[in-house]
């Protein structure tokens, strides 16, 4: 099967998962309906199928004889896969399945772009255990903190609707309580912060020079993100930070992380066309 065919199948599975998720929200009349888990198990397998298809596509398209393809669009697709994989697994235990309304469309957009934009492969030849550990930790950290950022945006929307005494809209009514949403956001931040620390430590240990010219900006921005999230978690424990203040700090930390992972890659590869 060609890469284009595999991409199309993956797109269709994400579209089906998104459609069933939307239908389940429309069908639910109460935010804490007793049938939550029944509907949950109707649409979650489709999300798992989409993620599995996406993983197989990445395996076929990105692992080439020369090494691992880490070009801009391939990296975006890999991160999107990581986000949705963690989301589907975590949704078995935590009420975060609604975040698929954001993460599934992002995956659909990225996969659609890969169909029409063919970029040259940029391979990473050093794929030993040390580099694999660093890449895996980086992917997991970014995915968890991305989900936390989406959670923060939904929390901000939920707070705004409640302040206006207008909690209308199917999505807002289907979300857990503000307290539960906020607690979950901090749990995601704590997990992502810890793994981001592991990524930085593994980079310092295993990479020759983490502050080399092509890595300095990524390292500095990642450290800034780690410090922001550390401060946020400390403030939560010691001072009970919450609400809009916590949301702003969460989004600030994620912006640093997003710039570290993709900012320069976008400029160098897609704008300046440099390797």
Judged by average pLDDT, the poorest of 81-95, 186-200, 201-215 is 201-215
- Domain end marker among 53, 80, 115: 115
Looking at the fold, whether 182 and 224 belong to one and the same domain comes out as yes
Looking at the fold, whether 65 and 153 belong to one and the same domain comes out as no
- If one counts every other C-beta atom within 10 angstroms of the C-beta of residue 197, the result is 17
Residue 9 lies in a domain: yes
Looking at the fold, whether 139 and 274 belong to one and the same domain comes out as yes
**pLDDT tops 60 at residue 217:** yes
- Per 3-state DSSP, the chain is made up of helix, strand and coil in percentages (nearest 5) of 75, 5, 20
Q: How far apart are CA 188 and CA 145, in angstroms?
A: 7
Tell which wins on pLDDT, 96 or 173. 96
Looking at the fold, whether 142 and 58 belong to one and the same domain comes out as no
- Domain end marker among 115, 148, 183: 115
Looking at the fold, whether 223 and 174 belong to one and the same domain comes out as yes
Looking at the fold, whether 268 and 187 belong to one and the same domain comes out as yes
Residue 76 lies in a domain: no
SS3 of 189-216: HHHHHHHHHHHHHHHHHHCCCCCCCCCH
Judged by average pLDDT, the poorest of 31-40, 49-58, 162-171, 250-259 is 31-40
Residue 77 lies in a domain: no
pLDDT category, 33, cuts 50, 70, 90? very low
Number of domains in the chain: 2
**Average of per-residue pLDDT across 238-244:** 89
CA angle, 181 then 183 then 187, to 5°:
115
pLDDT category, 109, cuts 50, 70, 90? very high
Residue 85 lies in a domain: no
pLDDT at position 108, please? Answer: 95
Write down the mean pLDDT value for the chain: 82
Residue 60 lies in a domain: yes
Looking at the fold, whether 111 and 174 belong to one and the same domain comes out as no
Looking at the fold, whether 184 and 248 belong to one and the same domain comes out as yes
Q: Kindly tell me the burial class for residue 82, based on how many C-beta atoms sit within 10 Å of its own C-beta (0-12, 13-18, 19 or more).
A: buried
pLDDT category, 37, cuts 50, 70, 90? very low
Greatest mean pLDDT among 61-70, 109-118, 119-128, 251-260 lies in 251-260
Looking at the fold, whether 231 and 139 belong to one and the same domain comes out as yes
Helix (H, G, I), strand (E, B) or coil at 242: coil
pTM: 0.83
- Domain end marker among 115, 145, 170: 115
Q: Name the token pair of 221.
A: 């921005």
pLDDT at position 267, please? Answer: 58
Tell which wins on pLDDT, 82 or 117. 82
Residue 74 lies in a domain: no
Residue 149 lies in a domain: yes
User: Cβ distance 124 to 131 under 8 Å?
Assistant: yes
Looking at the fold, whether 38 and 174 belong to one and the same domain comes out as no
Q: How far apart are CA 252 and CA 153, in angstroms?
A: 12
Tell which wins on pLDDT, 223 or 67. 223
pLDDT category, 124, cuts 50, 70, 90? low
Tell which wins on pLDDT, 267 or 175. 175
**pLDDT tops 70 at residue 125:** no
Looking at the fold, whether 135 and 190 belong to one and the same domain comes out as yes
Q: How far apart are CA 80 and CA 210, in angstroms?
A: 25
pLDDT at position 238, please? Answer: 92
pLDDT category, 262, cuts 50, 70, 90? confident
pLDDT at position 16, please? Answer: 94
Write out the residue range of the structural domain in which residue 135 sits.
126-275
pLDDT category, 242, cuts 50, 70, 90? confident
Helix (H, G, I), strand (E, B) or coil at 67: strand
Looking at the fold, whether 101 and 136 belong to one and the same domain comes out as no
Q: How far apart are CA 65 and CA 28, in angstroms?
A: 49
Residue 79 lies in a domain: no
* φ, ψ at 123 (rounded to 5°): -95, 145
């Amino acid at each position: 099967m060609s890469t284009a065919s595999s991409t199309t199948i993956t797109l269709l599975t994400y579209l089906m998962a998104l459609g069933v998720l939307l239908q389940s929200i429309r069908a639910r009349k109460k935010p804490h309906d007793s049938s939550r888990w029944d509907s949950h198990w109707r649409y979650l397998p489709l999300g798992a199928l989409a993620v599995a298809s996406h993983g197989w596509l990445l395996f076929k398209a990105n692992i080439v004889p020369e090494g691992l393809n880490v070009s801009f669009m391939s990296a975006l697709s890999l991160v999107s896969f990581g986000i949705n994989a963690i989301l589907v697994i975590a949704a078995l235990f935590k009420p975060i399945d609604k975040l698929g309304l954001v993460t599934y469309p992002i995956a659909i957009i990225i996969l659609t772009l890969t169909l029409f934009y063919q970029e040259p492969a940029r391979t990473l030849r050093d794929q030993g255990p040390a580099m694999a550990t660093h890449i895996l930790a980086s992917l997991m950290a970014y995915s968890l903190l991305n989900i936390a950022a989406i959670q923060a945006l939904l929390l901000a929307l939920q707070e705004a609707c409640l302040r206006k005494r207008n909690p209308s809209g199917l999505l807002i009514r289907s979300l857990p309580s503000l307290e539960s949403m906020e607690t979950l956001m901090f749990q995601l931040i704590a997990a992502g912060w810890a793994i981001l620390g592991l990524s930085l430590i593994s980079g310092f240990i295993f990479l020759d020079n983490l502050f080399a010219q092509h890595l300095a900006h990524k390292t500095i921005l990642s450290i800034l993100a780690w410090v922001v999230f550390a401060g946020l978690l400390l403030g939560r424990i010691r001072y009970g930070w919450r609400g809009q203040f916590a949301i702003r700090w969460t989004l600030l930390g994620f912006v640093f992380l997003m710039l570290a992972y993709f900012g320069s890659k976008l400029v160098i590869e897609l704008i300046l066309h440099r390797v």
